[in-house]
Amino acid sequence: MNTILRTARTAVVLSALLTVTGVASANNSKACVEAVLKEQWTKALTPCTAAAERGDIAAQVGLGWMYMNGKGVAQDYAKAERFYKLAAEQGLSTAQFNLGLMYDEGRGVAQDYVQAVRWYTLAAEQGDEEAQNNLGLMYDEGRGVAQDYAQAVRWYTMAAKQGLAQPQHNLGLMYYDGRGVAQDYAQAVRWWTLAAQQGRADAQYNLGLMYDNGQGVAQDYAQAVRWYTMAAEQGLAQPQHNLGLMYYEGRGVAQDYTRAHMWFNLAAVSGRSISVKNRDLIAARMTREQIAKAQQMARDCAARKYKGC
């Protein structure tokens, strides 16, 4: 019950295609912009290529995105890197972020954390929240830069204040662990709440755990069940297991062995041995009819992708 989920420390995925109409560019190609905004990728290729070669920054980042994602062209990381770099060198933060991500993951270029940090920093200093989060991640894990938890907290905070859920979750971890900041469970709850409200399953689970244990917030089993349920409905095994415990013990919900068996059974599918053990222990207290009902409930729940269970 006391394990905090730390699965959020992963790079943010490629940012969405830049809204090219928002980029000031003297020689912007109208045909390129219109085709990209309408997601007419094949139609966009010729005018965007011509505009990009002339130095049009919007066309360059749009074309980089097309090659990165195989939109209207065969996926080609090397070409994506080329066009992102052209735009990045002109100072476009979206291109700088995406170029940093390519170096971070070794897509189209040799993996190079130092270069990733370089491009993330340029984008982050312009206020790009995804770059700020990923730069925090690099300092957090000591990749491409000396590990520095205080710097990680600095960049996570900048991104979190812009409303991005991942750095909000990561900042909650820093306050929970006391890394780069004084340990503060109330602050962990604050940031996990913000991330959880945006639908992050790991933050929802961690928030449930805080209410369950009364850390940084008044102990409230009903709230724990609420947040565990949201995370469990996204398929995470740990909150599914914890819901089994809540129903088994009648904490925050009426005691219900059948529903407890169902949640333990669902969590057990992921290979959690403790869930298997608890399911079998509770089965010893149930009738055959109750067990059969619980098993059917688990099948139905899985078929509904864990919603409304």
Answer for the pair 109, 123: CB distance below 8 angstroms, yes or no. Answer: no
Kindly state the helix (H) or strand (E) to which residue 300 belongs, with its residue range.
helix 288-303
Whether pLDDT at 5 is above 80: no
Which residue reads 């059917």 in tokens?
Answer: 296
First to last CA, the chain: 21
Angle at 199 between CA 196 and CA 204, to 5 degrees: 40
Question: What is the per-residue pLDDT across 243-294, written as a single tens digit (0 to 9) for each?
Answer: 999 999 999 999 999 999 999 999 999 888 999 999 999 999 999 999 999 9
- Give per-residue pLDDT as tens, 189-214: 999 999 999 999 999 999 999 999 99
Q: Count Cβ neighbours within 10 Å for each residue of 102-118 and write b for 16 or more, e otherwise.
A: bbbeebbbeeebebbbb
pLDDT of residue 1: 41
Taking 90 as the threshold, does the pLDDT of residue 39 lie above it?
Answer: no
Q: How far, in Å, CA of 247 to CA of 297, rounded?
A: 14
236's tokens:
């995470």
Higher-pLDDT residue of 178 and 58 is: 178
Give the residue among 58, 30, 32 at the shortest CA–CA distance from 46: 32
Q: CA Rg, the chain, in Å?
A: 24
Task: Give the pTM.
Answer: 0.88
| CB-CB contact of 158 with 130 (8 Å) | no
pLDDT digits 0-9 by tens, 64-120: 989 999 999 999 999 999 999 999 999 999 899 999 999 999 998 999 999 999 999
Categorize the per-residue pLDDT at 28 as very low, low, confident or very high, splitting at 50, 70 and 90. low
Tell me how crowded residue 202 is: count the other CB atoms within 10 A of its CB.
26
The burial of 220, by beta-carbon neighbours within 10 Å (0-12 exposed, 13-18 middle, 19 or more buried), is given as middle
Q: Given pLDDT bands bounded at 50, 70 and 90, which one contains residue 17? A: very low
At residue 225, the pLDDT reads: 98
* Dihedral angle computed from the Cα positions of residues 156, 237, 219 and 207, in that order, rounded to the nearest 10 degrees: 20
Q: Per mean pLDDT, which range of 30-34, 232-236, 259-263, 271-275 is the poorest? A: 30-34
Is it the case that residue 16 has pLDDT exceeding 90?
A: no
Reply yes or no on whether the pLDDT at 226 is more than 90.
yes
